[in-house]
Structure 1
Amino acid sequence: MRAQPIARLTWGTLLITAPGTVLETITGRPATTSQRWVLRVLGSRHALQAGIDLARPTPAVLRCGAAVDLLHAATCAGAVAFLPLWRRPAAVDGVGALALAAGALAHARAH
């Protein structure tokens, strides 16, 4: 199953190359410099994780990636609760992180 890491790589690349456009689409407001930086870092993490998933899609690697996604979803929940400027993008990203974690765990189970 290569669709999920390819989707993750696509998303990561989009966050790296067009963070302002992504954030403006989600929030309707121009992105700040710090927001663009955060999205580029997040995009880099996604791209790296996609590369690892494509290179070694073993159950252990997929479970570790799911754990990273679940941790990320937890940080997004904190941002939703305590950072009004990040509320909407964090909610969108948190739901995406949960979906990626669920997909990785399902793939790991199938192996």
Structure 2
Amino acid sequence: MTAKRSPAGDATTIRAIGLVEAVTGALLATRPNAMITLVDRHRAGPPVWLVRVLGARMLVQGAVEIARPLPVVAMGGAAVDASHALSMLPVVIASRRFRRPASVSGAVAGATAAALLGAFVRATSHADD
């Protein structure tokens, strides 16, 4: 017999993922140079404006996940993060200069996509209980 998860637990999971994304996004948007240095202190990173845009996107996405922790929001967030992770692959392959930041950005996006997809699956499996 397995323990049943509650819809409230699923909402808490989605909110926690959203909080991580929102905080990360706020740091990228407001402290881009510090975040670039944290990822790769030996090379010039991507343009600051690009880091700020990514941060703003993550901040908004995280805020939506916190405010509306619904399965459809988790699935939408997972799709956005998976798309971002996949978009980093050509940069990782083709750009020596941006390989490390693109790898980190893609890995973080892939991890949040997987976490949100897992939350979506758990939340929607309650219908079968």
For normalisation by structure 2, the TM-score amounts to: 0.79
User: Are residues 1:40 and 2:52 paired?
Assistant: yes
Could you tell me whether the CA contact under 8 Å between 1:20 and 1:30 is conserved in 2?
no
Please list every run of 5 or more consecutive structure 1 residues that lacks an aligned counterpart in the other structure: none
**Cα deviation digits, residues 58-96 of structure 1 (max 9, x gap):** 111111110111110011111101122210000011111
Could you tell me whether the CA contact under 8 Å between 1:20 and 1:31 is conserved in 2?
no
User: Are residues 1:94 and 2:101 paired?
Assistant: no
Could you tell me whether the CA contact under 8 Å between 2:25 and 2:55 is conserved in 1?
yes
* Code of the aligned partner of 1:79: V
Aligned counterpart, 1:71: 83
Shifted more, 18-27 versus 6-15: the winner is: 18-27
Percent of aligned positions that are identical: 35
Could you tell me whether the CA contact under 8 Å between 2:16 and 2:66 is conserved in 1?
no
Give 1:29 shift.
3.4
Match of 1:83 among 90, 95, 99: 95
Give 1:31 shift.
4.3
User: Are residues 1:109 and 2:86 paired?
Assistant: no
Match of 1:27 among 40, 43, 47: 40
Shifted more, 52-61 versus 68-77: the winner is: 52-61
Aligned counterpart, 1:7: 20
Could you tell me whether the CA contact under 8 Å between 1:11 and 1:43 is conserved in 2?
yes
SS class of match (1:96): helix
**Cα deviation digits, residues 5-53 of structure 1 (max 9, x gap):** 1111110011011111111121113646x62111100000000101111
Could you tell me whether the CA contact under 8 Å between 1:6 and 1:50 is conserved in 2?
yes
Give the length in aligned residue pairs: 110
More helix by share: 1
SS class of match (2:47): helix
Output the CA distance in 2 between the equivalents of 1:18 and 1:89: 15
Displacement over 3 Å in runs of 4+: 29-32
Of structures 1 and 2, the larger Rg is shown by: 2
Higher RCO, 1 or 2 (CA under 8 Å, sep at least 6)?
Answer: 2
For normalisation by structure 1, the TM-score amounts to: 0.91
Please list every run of 5 or more consecutive structure 2 residues that lacks an aligned counterpart in the other structure: 1-12, 124-129
